[in-house]
Amino acid sequence: IQDKIIELFGEDYKDQLEAYGMTEKELKKNVKDSLAFQEGLKSHVELTKDDLKTAWESFHPEVKAQLIVATSEDDANDYLDQVKADGADFGKIAKDNSASGSAKEDGSVTFDSASTDVPAEVMAAAWDMKNGDISDVIPVASQYGYSYYILKMVKSQDKGNDMSKFQDEVEDAATNAKLNDSTFTTKVIGEELTAANVKIKDDAFADLLAGYVEDSSTNSSATDATDASEGSTDA
């Protein structure tokens, strides 16, 4: 959990909590819940040849880049002006200002299209960049609010035609595609709720799980969901 927080917000994340309107306890709980949810979904992923083929079509191999992450748009625009000035040292500006864990490494990051530690919006910009290019400010929304990214491409590469060279990465990309597929996640959540025998006792919330569990409205007279002795889970 701590590693993920630092990855998202940098070593000085405690100084940023006020900007996100959260306490450290709330942040850790949210990150823990998110990580647990993702691992739960992953346990249901079964990849097919078609899944891998689709993932390969959109796959981009690992690139080397530098990132600056800001917590306000004004700061991001200021940093963009700095890095685009003649003779600017992107790495030093990143190290002094970036709100990412990569700041201590002069903003240096490596990622491919299967990575989960770089936002999709940043990746989309990266795939169209040439070595030495600097992006505009890229706004990225999350449950914690907006962050603003500036990307400098250091070294890109082509994937070629041999998928076997990137088998693990393509499988990761296919897995991530599943995790971002609302049809898949809805199905998995429904299966887990059914397996846990989740029931809704209060008629006012009878349809709360509609879309996840079939005929959830018929469960309103069921045993209290918190009755652990019957194997039910609190809804």
131, pLDDT greater than 80: yes
- The pTM (predicted TM-score) of the whole model is 0.60
Q: Please calculate the CA angle 96-100-102 and round it to the nearest 5 degrees.
A: 80
Query: What's residue 135's pLDDT?
Result: 97
What residues contact 129, with CB distance under 8 A and at least 6 apart?
Answer: 135, 151, 153, 156
User: Which of the four pLDDT bands, split at 50, 70 and 90, describes residue 96?
Assistant: very high
18, pLDDT greater than 50: yes
Q: Calculate the CA 147 to chain-centre distance.
A: 13
For residues 221 and 187, which has the higher predicted lDDT (pLDDT)?
Answer: 187
Query: What's residue 199's pLDDT?
Result: 87
In percent, how much of the chain has pLDDT > 70? 91
Q: Please calculate the CA angle 124-130-132 and round it to the nearest 5 degrees.
A: 115
How high is the mean pLDDT of the chain? Answer: 87
CB 202, CB 220: distance < 8 Å: yes
> In the predicted model, what is the mean pLDDT of residues 48-57?
95
Query: What's residue 187's pLDDT?
Result: 93
228, pLDDT greater than 70: no
Integer Cα distance of 150 and 131 in angstroms: 15
Nearest to 98 by CA among 16, 1, 4, 2: 16
User: Which of the four pLDDT bands, split at 50, 70 and 90, describes residue 213?
Assistant: confident
pLDDT tens digits for range 154-171: 999 989 999 999 999 999
Residue type present at position 190: G
104, pLDDT greater than 60: yes
